[in-house]
Structure 1
Amino acid sequence: MPLSPRDETPVGTRTPPWTDREGPRGTRWFPVVVVALLQLPGLLIAFFDAAGHPLTAVAMLIAFLSSGLLALGRAHPGPVVVAIAVLCVPAIALTNGPPLSALPLAFAVVGAVVRGARVWAWWTLAAFAVAAPLAAFLLTSRPTSIIRPLILALVLVLLLGVGEALRNRRERFREVSRTLAARREAAAEAERLRIARELHDVLAHSLSQISVQAGVGLHLFDTRPEKARESLEAIKTTSGQALEEVRGVLGFLRSDGYADRSPEPDVSRIPVLVETYRRAGLEVTYENTLPHGASAATGHALYRIVQESLTNAGRHAQAQHVDIRIAEVDGWYVLTIADDGRGRPDDAVTEGKGMLGMRERAELLGGRFGTRATDGGGLTVEARLPARPAEAA
């Protein structure tokens, strides 16, 4: 049974929500709020001292306001990191306290790298490493003032590495998500095909039998009413069996896990199937020389292939006799079904849903399926299934 999306959600590979372009709308304001709260004390101190250092107070105000641009970083990460770097340089150059003015730039650099604007981030940081020390020297005229901007530039380089790690993590998450989505889709498609094959086999066989028995009943209704009654009873039995099998197939579609599921027919049910066609007037010989019972999957495939072949022989090929043999040869279960019907049209096999379904059943178990003309007319169907499907290559 395929895993549900909840069961297959990758764990431990998510990046911070504020770095996602597609994240919740409220998360875009997370870095803005964090940076503003951290910068606010320094801004208040600068304004209290504005009389002595007005330029510093203005520069810190500009750096404080630049944090608002982080809200646009999700949609425009490259331009945002450039704009914030330009706005933060004066405050970084003029202040000597804790480097809180660089916080907007730190968030912008990490966000730009994670969101794919790596070139913007690297070139902006390179320009910052030159412009910030130069601005500090020009604005303060102290040679030692360049040390602090250079240290900040080094810290931002380390943050670039953090951004690269987050970006790689994000890419892994997306790749895992795509892989799991493909697996779920493939599993769902395989399940749809399986259900389609089951429904086709059940309904095609049952409706074919009902049609034949109804024709016999109508033909004998006036002359041999007891035989007509037998045909009606056969129709009742066949329709009941078909309804039971359809319920079993559709039970797999229920999600509560409490559907009543009848056991899938296997090799042990083939004699009952053969007897049904014999009562309908088709001469069928059946020989099973398997030394032991087949596995559930293999037995079910053998049953369905026999069922579809008998339906084709009696309804489409208008055969009078069908010979069915099952044997084990060199680790393979070999199923051979030969009829004396009309055989291949124009010596070419045209695979309808029935033939295609039989081929798919064999190949899903690692086996092979083929048809060939029977000597003297008719068609021979041969399926080779591995005796141990789990070990088949």
Structure 2
Amino acid sequence: MPDQRWDDSGPRFRPSPALTLLLPVAVAFLVQVTATIGLSVWLHVPLRFAAASTALAAASALALLAARRFPGPTVAVVAALTLADLFVPPDASPPFIALAFAIIGAVVRGARLWALVSVGTAWLIALAALGFVDARVHPFRIVATTIGLAACFAIGEAIRRRLDRGAEFRARLQERRRTAEQDERTRIARELHDVLAHSLSQIAVQSGVGLHLFDREPERAREALANIRALSATGLDEVRGVLSFLRGDEASPRTAPLTPQPQLADLKALATQRTGLGLAVTLDDRLQGDFPASAVQTTAYRIAQEALTNIVRHSGASTATITLERRGDQGDELVVTVEDDGTGLVPGGSEGAGIRGMRERAELAGGVLTIFPGDRLGTAVTARLPWAGAS
């Protein structure tokens, strides 16, 4: 059965290796052997010459069986057999199409030099021998044969270039696939990191408080457990929503995400969630209800969420402020600043996954993210995003 392969450009039919090897052998054998026998009978050629010519025709066709593994030696053998047949009656023997198959196969398989040397040598010997024996050969036959041999080389080169272009195209296509898959993995990891880091860091803090107060203040411990339950449920819904969004299911009513993509209006609830256990989070919203594009809002929310997560996990801050502003000469820029009074930046410290994720989000939205010491000895994370989104 032929092998059918598919790629992004549509279905591609590729014959099996056995077919591409055996079909030239069969065609050459049937044409050459049948035509040689027929001419020998028609011209009443002596039996020994007819047998010799038929044997040469059959041998040149069968030699093509080695064309795949040994394309160079194959074209040399077929050229020699073709040359020998020129000196065996009948003089009007059929053309050896096995030589054409051998030349094309050798050029396609990278044995171009073998083909040039073998065929060129055989043709020069044939011309010299015909002149030596004073054989009368019509000039048209010589010209036609020369043109035919050149055409075989041209066909082989054309097929070789086409195959090379096809291989180059498939390599580029495969590289694009790998790049797209890597980008998709990075996007999924970034989305899940934002959701899980936010929920799990809160759960870890609340569970620690609950364990610490379990015996002394059971009411507060119960409150911490209730918070853990609410956070875990919210986190699970967000994970489902993110996965549904990444799968592109949000357009289907049956598979719509349980929670929509967060917007700037949700920052107030986020600040309330983060307030407590020694950290006071305030929201300074200077937009006055004028919000940018939805995708920009989601990016700004995720950056603020990750910044607060880093504050809880690493800075030891007591206060944090989220500031929303519209800036730029034409008001075309959303500026989100998250500032705390914690321990500040570590000199020479490397960026973790959270900071890399915030920076990637800002860049994908067409903006930029900067992190520098804040006015209160802590850290200030500022994201500048285009108001209308990435262009």
Q: TM-score, normalising length from structure 1?
A: 0.85
Measure the CA separation in 2 of the matches of 1:324 and 1:313: 12
Alignment check: 8 A CA contact 1:362 1:383 kept: yes
Measure the CA separation in 1 of the matches of 2:178 and 2:126: 53
Measure the CA separation in 1 of the matches of 2:60 and 2:390: 63
Give the equivalent residue in structure 2 for 1:61: 55
Measure the CA separation in 2 of the matches of 1:287 and 1:253: 31
CA deviation after TM superposition for structure 1 residue 294, in Å: 3.5
Q: Which amino acid in 1 is paired with 2:233?
A: G
Measure the CA separation in 2 of the matches of 1:325 and 1:172: 55
Alignment check: 8 A CA contact 2:299 2:362 kept: yes
Give the equivalent residue in structure 2 for 1:20: none
Give the equivalent residue in structure 2 for 1:230: 223
Q: 1:355 to 1:142 in 2, by over 3 A?
A: same
CA deviation after TM superposition for structure 1 residue 324, in Å: 0.9
Deviations 1:296-334 (A, max 9, x none): 443332222111110111221111111111223222322
Q: 1:315 aligns with which of 313, 316, 321?
A: 313
2:111 maps to 1:110: no
Q: Which amino acid in 2 is paired with 1:86?
A: A
Measure the CA separation in 2 of the matches of 1:72 and 1:260: 61
Give the equivalent residue in structure 1 for 2:184: 191
Q: Which amino acid in 1 is paired with 2:358?
A: M
Alignment check: 8 A CA contact 1:132 1:149 kept: no
Q: Which amino acid in 1 is paired with 2:178?
A: E
Alignment check: 8 A CA contact 1:205 1:311 kept: yes
Q: 1:7 to 1:110 in 2, by over 3 A?
A: closer
Q: How does 1:65-104 map to 2 (within 5 A)?
A: 65-92=59-86, 94=88, 95-97=90-92, 99-101=94-96, 103-104=97-98
Measure the CA separation in 2 of the matches of 1:318 and 1:239: 24
CA deviation after TM superposition for structure 1 residue 72, in Å: 1.8
Give the equivalent residue in structure 2 for 1:131: 125
2:171 maps to 1:174: no
Q: 1:376 to 1:251 in 2, by over 3 A?
A: closer
Alignment check: 8 A CA contact 1:209 1:280 kept: no
Q: How does 1:1-393 map to 2 (within 5 A)?
A: 6=6, 8-9=8-9, 17=15, 24-46=17-39, 48=41, 51-52=45-46, 54-55=48-49, 57-92=51-86, 94=88, 95-97=90-92, 99-101=94-96, 103-137=97-131, 141-144=134-137, 147-222=140-215, 224-251=217-244, 261-262=257-258, 263-290=260-287, 292-330=290-328, 331-345=332-346, 347-391=347-391
Q: Which amino acid in 1 is paired with 2:95?
A: L
Measure the CA separation in 1 of the matches of 2:125 and 2:146: 10
Deviates more, 1:188-197 or 1:367-376: 367-376
Deviates more, 1:40-49 or 1:305-314: 40-49
Q: TM-score, normalising length from structure 2?
A: 0.85
Measure the CA separation in 2 of the matches of 1:126 and 1:143: 21
Alignment check: 8 A CA contact 2:36 2:94 kept: no
Deviations 1:109-131 (A, max 9, x none): 11111222222223333223322
CA deviation after TM superposition for structure 1 residue 381, in Å: 0.9
CA deviation after TM superposition for structure 1 residue 241, in Å: 1.6
Query: How well do the aligned residues superpose, as a CA RMSD in angstroms?
Result: 3.0
Deviates more, 1:54-63 or 1:302-311: 54-63
Deviations 1:280-309 (A, max 9, x none): 552112133446434344333222211111
Q: Which amino acid in 1 is paired with 2:78?
A: I
Alignment check: 8 A CA contact 1:134 1:146 kept: no
Q: 1:387 to 1:289 in 2, by over 3 A?
A: same
Q: Which runs of 4+ in 1 moved over 6 A?
A: 252-258
Alignment check: 8 A CA contact 1:322 1:337 kept: yes
Alignment check: 8 A CA contact 2:79 2:118 kept: yes
Deviates more, 1:279-288 or 1:149-158: 279-288
Q: Secondary structure at the match of 2:324?
A: strand
Q: 1:390 to 1:204 in 2, by over 3 A?
A: closer
Q: 1:194 to 1:83 in 2, by over 3 A?
A: same
Q: 1:76 to 1:204 in 2, by over 3 A?
A: same
Deviates more, 1:90-99 or 1:123-132: 90-99
Q: Which amino acid in 2 is paired with 1:179?
A: R
Q: Secondary structure at the match of 1:377?
A: coil
